[in-house]
Amino acid sequence: MSRIAIYGCGPDEAAAFRAAAPRYGMEPVVIEAPVAAENSGLAAGSRCVSVGHRTRLTGPVLAALSRAGVGYVSTRSVGVDHIDTGFAQRVGITVGTVAYSPGSVADYTVMLMLMALRDAKSTVLRAEVHDYRLNEARGRELRDLTVGVVGAGRIGSAVITRLAGFGGRILVHDVAAADSVPLDELLRASDVVTLHVPLTAATRHLLDRTRLERCKPGVVLVNTARGALLDTEALLAALESGRVAGAALDVVDGEDGIFSTDRRNDPIGHKALLRLQERPNVIVSPHTAYYTDHGLRDVVENTLVNCRNFGSGEQ
C-alpha cells in the first residue's frame, strides 16, 4: 500500500482522506501543520504529498521534499500560483492540481452578485441593530443587466449556466470560447463583471487602473478567483470616484496569513483590505467559495486518484 503525506489538513479533510484512501490502495499520513522545510522529513516514505492552496511552496521547501524522496506534489486547488513550479521541475518533482465541483464557486459567485446588486451588506448590518428601514436606492434585477464573464473554464461555464436562468444578457471573454468578445468591449458594455481566470504573470492586475477606467460607469465587480487579478489600489480609487458602484470579493490580493485565521484580537496590517471592508458598497468574504461538502469529496477523491496514477506511472 502506497503512502501519501497530507499536510495542512483540517479535521474534516483528515476524516475524508482516512475514509477514502483504502479504496485507492493508499495509506494516508495526516500532518496538521502546513508543509515547510522543517517538517518535510515527515513525508519520508511517501512519494506523493498533498498540500493546501494557502501554503507557499518555495524553492527551499521543494528542495527539502525532494531530499525526503517526494516525487509528486498534489495541491488541493485548481491553481498553482502558490508553488514555484519551475524549481519543482528542476528538483524532479511533478506538480498536480485537482478538479472539484465548479458548482461550489459558481453558486457563491451568483450569490455575491445578487447581494451586491441588492445592497445586502447595508441591509443586514442595519437589521442587526434593529434599523429596519429600506435602502434609499432600490436594488437592480439581473434580467435587466448585462453580465460580463471573464474566463469560461469549468467554473466560468458553470456561472454562465446559472446566469442564463435569470434572463439577462451575458458577454464572455475567453480565448477558447467561440462567442468571445474582446475584454475592453466586455468592460464597456457590462453592468456586472465577474472574474474566473487563473492567476499568471499575464493576468496579474488584469483589471488595473487603465482597464477600470474603461468599465461602464456604475459597474459591479465580482471576484471569486484570485485576489491579484484586481489591482486593489486602482479598485479603491474607482470606488471612491463612483466609476465602480460596488464590489463583492471572496479573494483579496495579500490575503495570505489573514484569511482562514482568527484576527479578532490582532492588528491587521493590510490597510487596503481594511479600506475595502469599511466601504458600505464592498462585500468581503474570506476565500470561502470553494468550501462545500461536495467540493471536499471531489478534492479528496481526485487527490487520491492523481497520486495513485503517479505511483503506477499513468500521471
The CA distance from 30 to 10, in Å, is 9
Using left for φ > 0, alpha for ψ between -120 and 50, and beta otherwise, residue 278 falls in alpha
Question: Could you give the residue numbers annotated as active site?
Answer: 226, 255, 287
Q: What type of residue is 29?
A: V
Task: State the Cα torsion 296-300-303-305 to the nearest 10°.
Answer: -130
